[in-house]
Structure 1
Amino acid sequence: MATQRALILFAHGARAASWAAPFERLRDLTQAREPAVRVSLAFLELMSPRLPEQVAALVADGVLDITVVPVFLGQGGHVLRDLPLMLDDLRVAYPQAALKVVEAAGENAAVLQALSDYCVASLAHPSPH
């Protein structure tokens, strides 16, 4: 049997629970498009599960093909410094798992184009004032 695959959408986290709502919608939309893949959220701080907890849970369930998608607009210190260190630790802790990380969402040309489309479309809507 093929190893089940997982996609972890990795976001920053915030104190306000409402902050996670768009990420939950993104997770649900992604899960609907890839029913054979386990799609979950993980957070850097302030919210649960944190990335190490989520990887541990997946590996414990026998999921060894894991892709981490940083859902960050900018490549700040968290993506450039914290995430690689976290992944190094996780690769040592779970050598049986294939952990891959892709570019931050905001570094992807298609994501930026979609955001630009949204910004330009806002010009077509009259101001409420």
Structure 2
Amino acid sequence: MFAHGSRDPLWRAPIEAVAERIRTLAPGAAVACAYLEYTEPTLETVVAQLAGSGATAIAVWPMFLGTGRHARDDLPRLVDALRAQHPGIDFTLQAAIAEHPDVLHAMAAAALQSGHP
């Protein structure tokens, strides 16, 4: 899971909560959070750890609400560099998480539950 990062240490809590939910739903799955800036660990650090534990495939999920510059430009460059550094690993770069139909549905359902559609 890849997120922007923030100087505020509380900012990472929702991203870590999603990772924990994945671990609950898929015990044994290797799930890690990585951040672009201001927050550790970086994507490079996480990939090195996963590679060291024998990972042969890594899916990178951008935890973004849309496909802005970071998801469109910065992240693909980072993943391309990681592919070059780790040729034995199959990298998959997913679309921004909020573009997934289930996530869009969940956000709409949550907005409707607030009582103000």
User: Shorter chain as normaliser: what TM range?
Assistant: over 0.9
- Aligned amino acid, residue 14 of structure 1: S
Q: Percent identity?
A: 35
* Aligned length in residues: 116
- Aligned amino acid, residue 73 of structure 1: L
Give the Cα separation in 2 of the matches to 1:108 and 1:37. 21
Three-state SS of the structure 1 residue aligned to 2:58 is: strand
Q: 1:44 aligns with which of 29, 32, 36?
A: 36
Residue 68 (structure 1) aligned with residue 43 (structure 2): no
Give the Cα separation in 2 of the matches to 1:34 and 1:11. 21
Q: 2:77 aligns with which of 55, 78, 85?
A: 85
Shift of 1:95: 0.2
Give the Cα separation in 2 of the matches to 1:88 and 1:68. 12
Q: Where has structure 1 moved over 6 Å in runs of 4 or more?
A: none
Give the Cα separation in 2 of the matches to 1:58 and 1:16. 26
Give the Cα separation in 1 of the matches to 2:97 and 2:84. 26
Q: 2:108 aligns with which of 116, 120, 125?
A: 116
Shift of 1:105: 0.7
- Aligned amino acid, residue 59 of structure 2: T
Residue 21 (structure 1) aligned with residue 21 (structure 2): no
Root-mean-square deviation (CA, aligned residues, Å) is 1.0
Give the Cα separation in 2 of the matches to 1:22 and 1:88. 27
Give the Cα separation in 1 of the matches to 2:49 and 2:8. 25
Give the structure 2 partner of residue 95 of structure 1. 87
**TM-score, normalised on structure 1?**
0.87
**TM-score, normalised on structure 2?**
0.95
Q: 2:50 aligns with which of 58, 76, 90?
A: 58
Residue 105 (structure 1) aligned with residue 97 (structure 2): yes
Give the Cα separation in 2 of the matches to 1:69 and 1:16. 22
Give the Cα separation in 2 of the matches to 1:33 and 1:66. 18
Give the Cα separation in 1 of the matches to 2:55 and 2:25. 19
For each residue in 1:41-88, what CA deviation from the matched residue of structure 2 results, as whole angstroms up to 9, or x when unmatched? 000111011111110111012112111111100100000000100011
Which one has a bigger Cα radius of gyration? Answer: 1
